[in-house]
């Protein structure tokens, strides 16, 4: 069965103009184009569109999305990771909504009784909020100069520089994921060549020692947000990247 571009736009709430743009950049070509010039999409195309919209929701740019979709990663595995992240974010937002609702109720109760609001449990005011992770705090504490230098470099980057850098990082993550899925040992020369590219990329911001570079790799696992960024490409990628970085640091850095 096939659906016209108008039908896909109606079902997905994505405009026909956007769908045509996705075709023009090679992100979502139609199954075929009819003699009338209209685009038609099959079930596989609808599934690909669902993935595109999911990754847009998760903050990925179109180039990063295309790199993920064009990789050799299993479609169900990618979707399973997106599903896990969406459920986690749903749970966090539900908790945050309860926190705010509880505070509103306590404030209004105090107003109705003509007295100052009484917060029954002050610690409940902060349930559900995201705060800097222990891993991030440790990096700031152990390498404050490097942290400050990195922040300054990032702040000075143009939007084009930032997008190009993000594309490079995402492409490296995808290549590492392909090695991991294929069962390639982290000490393999091809894997270590990717780690070398990762290290050189970091050196654009600061030059880590062996200990610092291993610490960065460990932060990929310990920091929930960083781990999610890796594992949304492939589950277990954060640990695989860390182990590869450890091998690199011990062999090539001081």
Instruction: Give the pLDDT score at 101.
Output: 79
For the chain, domains (ranges, CATH) are 2-70 (1.10.1660.10), 133-254 (1.10.490.50)
Are 2 and 42 a contacting pair, CB within 8 Å?
yes
Other beta carbons within 10 angstroms of residue 89's beta carbon come to: 13
62-70 helix and 43-57 helix, angle to the nearest 10 degrees: 130
81-95: per-residue pLDDT in tens? 767 777 777 877 787
Which residues, listed in sequence order, are joined to residue 4 by a DSSP beta bridge? Answer: 40
Other beta carbons within 10 angstroms of residue 233's beta carbon come to: 25
165-208: per-residue pLDDT in tens? 777 888 888 889 999 989 999 999 999 999 999 999 888 888 88
Q: Which residues of the chain have pLDDT under 70?
A: 59, 72-75, 78, 82, 106, 110-143, 145-147, 149-152, 154-161
- pLDDT over 90 for what percent of the chain? 27
């Amino acid at each position: 069965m096939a659906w016209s571009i108008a039908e896909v736009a109606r079902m997905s709430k994505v405009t026909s103009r956007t769908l045509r743009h996705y075709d023009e950049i090679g992100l979502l070509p139609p199954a075929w184009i009819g003699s009338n010039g209209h685009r038609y999409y099959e079930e596989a195309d609808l599934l690909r569109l669902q993935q595109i919209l999911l990754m847009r929701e998760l903050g990925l740019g179109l180039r990063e999305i295309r790199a993920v979709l064009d990789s050799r990663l299993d479609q169900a595995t990618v979707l399973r990771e997106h599903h896990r992240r969406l459920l986690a974010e749903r749970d966090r937002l539900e908790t945050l909504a309860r926190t705010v609702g509880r505070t509103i109720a306590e404030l209004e109760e105090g107003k109705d009784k003509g007295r100052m609001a009484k917060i029954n449990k002050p610690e409940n005011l902060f349930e559900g909020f995201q705060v800097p992770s222990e891993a991030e705090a440790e990096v700031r504490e152990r390498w404050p100069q490097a942290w400050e230098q990195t922040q300054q470099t990032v702040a000075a980057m143009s939007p084009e520089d930032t997008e190009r850098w993000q594309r490079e990082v995402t492409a490296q993550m995808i290549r590492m994921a392909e090695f991991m899925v294929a069962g390639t040992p982290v000490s393999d020369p091809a894997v270590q060549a990717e780690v070398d590219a990762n290290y050189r990329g970091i050196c654009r911001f600061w030059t880590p020692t062996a200990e610092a570079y291993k610490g960065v790799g460990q932060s990929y696992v310990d920091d929930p947000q960083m781990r999610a960024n890796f594992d949304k490409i492939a589950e277990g990628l954060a640990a695989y990247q860390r182990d590869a970085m450890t091998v690199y640091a011990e062999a090539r850095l001081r």
